Amino acid sequence: MVQLSTFYIREPDLIFGQNNKCVEPRGGLFLFGPYGRYVSGEVVPIVADVGIIGTSKSIGDTIDFFNYIKRRIPAESTGGIDFPGLGVKGKLRFDVKFDEQWQEVITSSDVSECKQIETRIERINYFLDLLEEKIRNLHRKEPSPMLTICALPLEFIKLCRSPEQKGYHVIITHRRFEKQRISPPQLKGDYDLHHIIKVFGMKYEMPTQVILPHTLDVQRTKKGRPRFSYQSLEPQHGSLLQIRRGSLEACTT
């Protein structure tokens, strides 16, 4: 019998503002703010230049959403951590900057042309070619944005998802593993729109973030719990109540 041995690799501490360390990223940001971008360990407010790809509506919704989360958002559960809100003068000392020069608009003509395409896979390929073109355009800007948000338009999601799919997750195909003895549940895997958009970002050295329509629905968000509020931290990362009081002890395992 082969004996297996195991060993424990401790979660590394992350470094935050003024060289403070914490194992939990959300707790560390809440307590200390981000690590200085240009000056080692010092408190340096960060403003990220952000590009947006989307229709006029989804671009406007994205800007409205980020304006909305500049406010403090209460935690969802007792002992959770409130999302402190974006802003260089807030706890996170971080904000985003939008500018028309970093907006790539998907036009109504683009949507109409996609509607004329007969098969779903061809519509997906059309949409992906369009997204890659937009990411490439932003990459070539001087200066280029630090991050690009792909605010996926609902029109394209409906055109690209399969008829049996519900929601906003666009599966392109299922992976299959051949010549391997794998159980049936393992045979299914998905290539989706999100994966390929991330690859485009890596190709053009442009960090990307996909945002779906229901996330940007600020009116829906106000009625329920905002999706951007901090959820409860993992139990092994210290006391939640201590973090709410600003205790450094909460950053010890």
**Which one, of 231, 212, 225, lies nearest residue 62 by Cα?**
212
pLDDT at 38: 59
- Model confidence at 137, in pLDDT bands (50, 70, 90)? very high
Q: Is the residue at 5 inside a domain?
A: no
Does 17 map to a domain? no
Residues in the chain: 253
Does residue 70 lie within any of the structural domains? Answer: yes
| Alpha carbon distance, N-terminus to C-terminus of the chain | 36
Query: Residue 62 is part of which domain span?
Result: 47-224
Instruction: Give the residue from 55, 147, 67 showing the smallest Cα distance to 102.
Output: 147
Q: What is the C-alpha separation between 115 and 158, in angstroms, rounded?
A: 10
- Give residue for tokens 């041995």: 5
Query: 3-state SS of the chain?
Result: CCCCCCCCCCCCCEECHHHCEECCHHHHHHHHCCCCCCCCCCCCCEEEEEEEEECHHHHHHHHHHHHHCCCCECCCCCCCCCECCCECCCCCCEEEEEEEEEEEECCHHHHHHHHCCCCHHHHHHHHHHHHHHHHHHHHCCCCCCCEEEEECCHHHHHHHCCCCCCCCCCEEEEECCCCCCCCHHHHCEEEEHHHHHHHHHHHCCCCEEEECHHHHCHHHHHHCCCCCCCCCCCHHHCCHHHHHCCCHHHHCC
In a domain, 126, yes or no: yes
Residue 242 counted as domain residue: no
CA angle 144, 69, 26 (to 5 degrees): 85
Instruction: State the pLDDT at residue 243.
Output: 36
Question: Structurally, how many domains does the chain consist of?
Answer: 1
d(CA 55, CA 59): 6
As a whole number of angstroms, the distance between CA 151 and CA 147 comes to 13
pLDDT at 67: 93
Residue 102 lies in a domain: yes
Is a pLDDT exceeding 80 seen at residue 225?
Answer: no
Which of the four pLDDT bands, split at 50, 70 and 90, describes residue 190?
Answer: low
pLDDT tens sequence across 40-55: 656 667 889 999 999 9
Is 174 contained in some domain?
A: yes
What pTM value is reported for the model?
0.74
Report which residue type is found at 203.
Answer: K
Whether 184 maps to a domain, the answer reads yes
